[in-house]
C-alpha cells in the first residue's frame, strides 16, 4: 500500500477526541500495523480512548542502546461525519481531508520510515500514540512521562513550520474552566432577587484579560462560553473555557495563581475556577541545539536542508522537552490548515519526511 493510500485509509477512519469506540478501533489498526513492522505494540486503556505504545527492537551493535522515542496522536478535532463536508481528495499534488495534516500524515511517515530501516543497524525505537492530544493529553501525561524515561531523544510527528523547519521549543499550554453559579429569577418581575451568572462571567473574563495584559508573551483565548436559557429569566449558571499559553514556567505560575485567586464580583454569586489540562513550557536548550545539529547532518545524507525554530502551539513534546529529554517536533509532512476546513498536506513531502525520519533512526 502506498503512503497516499494508507493516509486515505487513516483519514477516512474518523477519530474525534473522546469518541472512544472510534479511537479504540483505530488503535487496533495501529497495533496490527506495528506488529507487521516488527514491533511489539499494546493498547493502554483510557476512558475516552486508548493510547498505543510500540517498541521496535534495535539491530546489530546498537541493539542495546537507549531507544529513540517518537510521539504522535490519533485523535483529531473533527466530529464523526466531517468527511461529508470536507471529503478526501487529491488535486495537483495536494491532499485534502480531515486529519491529514494534524496528524495522520505523521503516522504514515513514521510507518514508512520504520519499513526503510527494517534491516539496518540502529537503536531501538519506541512510539507513543496518544488518544487525547487535541485536548491537552489529560489521560496520557503519566504514560508519556513513564515511557520517556531512559530514551536518548524524543521526536514529534506533528506538522512542521510552514517552511518545513522543525520545532525546537513550545509555549506552555493550560486549559482553564470558569464556572459561575448565580440565582434565577424573573427578569422583569423580580430581577433584584436574581444574580446573573452571565454578567458575573463577563466581568470575570474581563478581569482575566486585565491580568494577562500585565505580562508579555502570554496568549489567552476564550474558546467556549455557555450559560443561561431564556431572555426572561436571570441566568443561574454560566461557564467558559480558556486556553492560556506561556513562554516560561515562572510567568505560567504567576498567571495561573492569579486566575485561581479570582473572587466573585457580585454578592451571592459563586465562582469555581479549575485547570482542565496543562502542558508545561518547553524552553530552548543546548541539548536541543545539539540534537538539531545531528538531525541536520542526517538530513544532508538524504539531500535535505533541516532548520529549526520555536513554536507557539503545544503538543505532547512539551512534556518530554520540559522533562529534559532532548526533543524536536515537526517531522510530519508539509501542508497547512490544521483545525481548519482547508486542512491539507503536500503529497510529495510524505516520502521526503519518511526519508528524513529513517535517516534520523539510522544515525542518531
**Annotated catalytic residue: which of 50, 111, 132, 133?**
133
As a CATH number, domain 3-170+281-363 is 3.40.630.10
pLDDT digits (tens, 9 = 90+) for 126-182: 999 999 999 999 999 999 999 999 999 999 999 999 999 999 999 999 999 999 999
Decide if domain 172-279 falls under CATH 3.30.70.360. yes
Q: What is the C-alpha separation between 231 and 330, in angstroms, rounded?
A: 48
**Annotated catalytic residue: which of 14, 75, 134, 184?**
75
pLDDT of 249 reads 87
- State yes or no: is 133 an active-site residue: yes
Let me know the angle formed at the C-alpha of 124 by 297 and 107, rounded to the nearest 5 degrees. 75
Query: Residue 327 — φ and ψ, nearest 5°?
Result: -135, 140
126, exposed or middle or buried, with CB in 10 Å at 0-12, 13-18, 19+? buried
pLDDT digits (tens, 9 = 90+) for 18-52: 999 999 999 999 999 999 999 999 999 999 999 99
Each domain of the chain, given as residue ranges in start order, spans 3-170+281-363, 172-279
Q: What is the C-alpha separation between 204 and 236, in angstroms, rounded?
A: 16
- The DSSP string of 209-261 is HHHHTTSTT-EEEEEEEEE---TTB---EEEEEEEEEESSHHHHHHHHHHHHT
pLDDT of 1 reads 87
pTM score: 0.90
Three-class secondary structure of residue 170 per DSSP? strand
pLDDT of 216 reads 86
Amino acid at each position: 500500500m502506498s503512503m497516499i493510500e494508507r493516509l486515505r485509509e487513516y483519514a477516512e477512519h474518523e477519530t474525534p477526541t473522546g469518541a472512544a469506540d472510534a479511537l479504540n478501533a483505530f488503535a487496533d489498526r495501529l497495533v496490527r500495523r506495528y506488529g507487521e513492522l516488527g514491533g511489539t505494540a499494546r493498547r493502554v486503556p483510557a476512558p475516552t480512548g486508548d493510547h498505543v505504545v510500540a517498541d521496535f527492537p534495535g539491530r546489530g551493535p546498537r541493539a542495546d542502546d537507549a531507544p529513540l522515542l517518537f510521539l504522535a496522536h490519533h485523535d483529531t478535532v473533527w466530529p464523526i461525519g466531517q468527511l461529508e463536508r470536507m471529503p478526501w481528495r487529491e488535486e495537483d499534488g495536494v491532499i485534502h481531508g480531515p486529519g491529514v495534516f494534524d496528524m495522520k500524515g505523521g503516522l504514515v511517515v513514521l510507518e514508512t520510515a520504520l519499513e526503510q530501516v527494517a534491516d539496518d543497524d540502529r537503536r531501538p525505537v519506541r512510539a507513543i500514540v496518544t488518544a487525547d492530544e487535541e485536548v491537552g493529553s489529560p489521560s496520557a501525561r503519566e504514560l508519556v512521562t513513564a515511557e520517556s524515561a531512559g530514551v536518548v531523544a524524543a521526536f514529534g510527528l506533528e506538522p512542521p513550520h510552514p517552511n518545513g523547519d522543525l520545532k525546537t521549543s513550545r509555549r506552555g499550554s493550560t486549559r482553564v474552566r470558569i464556572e459561575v453559579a448565580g440565582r434565577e429569577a424573573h427578569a422583569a418581575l423580580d430581577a433584584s432577587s436574581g444574580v446573573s451568572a452571565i454578567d458575573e462571567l463577563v466581568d470575570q473574563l474581563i478581569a482575566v484579560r486585565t491580568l494577562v495584559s500585565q505580562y508579555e508573551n502570554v496568549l489567552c483565548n476564550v474558546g467556549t462560553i455557555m450559560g443561561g436559557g431564556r431572555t426572561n429569566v436571570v441566568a443561574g449558571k454560566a461557564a467558559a473555557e480558556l486556553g492560556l499559553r506561556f513562554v516560561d514556567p515562572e510567568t505560567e505560575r504567576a498567571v495561573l495563581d492569579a486566575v485561581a485567586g479570582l473572587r466573585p464580583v457580585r454578592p451571592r454569586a459563586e465562582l469555581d475556577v479549575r485547570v482542565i489540562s496543562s502542558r508545561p513550557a518547553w524552553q530552548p536548550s543546548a541539548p536541543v541545539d545539539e540534537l538539531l545539529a545531528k538531525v541536520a547532518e542526517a538530513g544532508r545524507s538524504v539531500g535535505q536542508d533541516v532548520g529549526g525554530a520555536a513554536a507557539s502551539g503545544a503538543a505532547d513534546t512539551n512534556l518530554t522537552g520540559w522533562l529534559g529529554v532532548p526533543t524536536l517536533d515537526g517531522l510530519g509532512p508539509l501542508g497547512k490548515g490544521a483545525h481548519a476546513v482547508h486542512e491539507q498536506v503536500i503529497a510529495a513531502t510524505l516520502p521526503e519526511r519518511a526519508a528524513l525520519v529513517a535517516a534520523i533512526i539510522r544515525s542518531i
